[in-house]
Chains A and B, each alone.
Chain A
Amino acid sequence: MTLETVLFWIFGGLAVVAAIATITRKNPVISALFLILNFGGLAGLYLLLNAQFIAVVQIIVYAGAIMVLFLFVIMLLRPDDEKSFFAENKQIKWTGIAIGTFLFAQLAYVIFVGVPKQSIVRDAQRSVEIGTIESIGRALFTQFLVPFEAIAFVLLAATIGALVLAKKKFD
């Protein structure tokens, strides 16, 4: 086995085990901590796919900032209220299973049918140069300059939205 294969099994196994632990824990805070471990495993997989920048962003943004928000949101809710909600609404489990199956079918379609094999192979051969921060910066500030500026407005809307929702009662 090559180094890549060994690391793939380590990170892939870590991601799968952490994902299973995330959905089976009773305590939502422990679930969130296992989700961080899952994001770590995914970051390793991104690195193996030569997507260095995505791997770093996965750690900084997802495992860092977004999981802090998740934990705060979990602490904003009262776990006992959640338990009674799920006890009263039993059919919500089937909705969850239906959405999960739909998303799985969608992913399976995209991976096995939707994308032509040649384009995967072609992109894989160029992946080392595509994944570097230099090539991402070059694409972002030349070819995709307008979408880049649009991101600023999307995030401005997110800032104002969060403030309007959370600060309403304090004024």
Chain B
Amino acid sequence: MIENYIPVFVVLGFAILFALATVFSSEIFGPKRPTKEKLSTYESGVKPIGSANERVSIKYYLVAMLFIIFDLEVIFVYPWAVTFTKLFSEFGMVIFTSMMVFLVVFEIGYLYAYKKGAFKWD
């Protein structure tokens, strides 16, 4: 069984090799002449103020949370889409309606988020 995944592992191996090779070849071959000015924190030419570890807004948390929830919705659609033709010929409309009920319940959450202004960025 695992033999079927050898192409995936080959791609994975090449991805890791490529990432390591690019990072370390620039480390090895790149010229390094550091000065005090070069090593100072670069902030678009402006003098840096404050700490880099400032707290970010709660809006990011909302975006991430909504992303997880709709990501999970998609995870349940995958097996449905793969098995749909087979199960539809066996069980009929109930397979279709069950997913539609599932999606409609999700859309209630989506509408609530929309009405609450979760997608507004201000």
Contact = CB atoms under 8 A, between A and B. Distances in A.
A48 B68 contact: no
Tell me whether chain A's interface is mostly helix, strand or loop, or mixed.
Answer: helix
Contacts of A136: 79
B53 A166 contact: no
A47 B61 contact: no
A156 B91 contact: no
Contacts of A128: 1
A79 B53 contact: yes
A142 to B, nearest CB: 7
Given A72-B64, A159-B66, A149 B76 contact: no
B13 to A, nearest CB: 10
Interface stretch (A62-70, A86-94, A111-119): A62-70
B78 interface: yes
A133 interface: yes
Interface in A16-49: 47-48
Tell me whether chain B's interface is mostly helix, strand or loop, or mixed.
Answer: helix
Contacts of B73: 155
Interface string B67-84: 111011101101110110
A96 interface: no
Interface residues of A, number: 48
A145 B98 contact: yes
B21 interface: no
A155 B64 contact: no
Contact of A167 (B78, B105, B109, B118): B118
B64 A137 contact: no
B107 to A, nearest CB: 10
A166 B61 contact: yes
Given A140-B80, A153-B105, A158-B65, 10 more contacts: A61-B68, A72-B60, A148-B98, A149-B101, A152-B106, A155-B69, A159-B69, A159-B112, A166-B59, A167-B62
Interface of A: 3-4, 7, 47-48, 50, 53, 57, 60-61, 64-66, 68-69, 72-73, 75-80, 128, 133-134, 136-138, 140-142, 145, 148-149, 151-153, 155-156, 158-160, 162-163, 166-167, 170
Interface of B: 1-3, 5, 9, 53-56, 58-69, 71-73, 75-76, 78-80, 82-83, 86-87, 91, 95, 98-99, 101-102, 105-106, 108-110, 112-113, 116-118
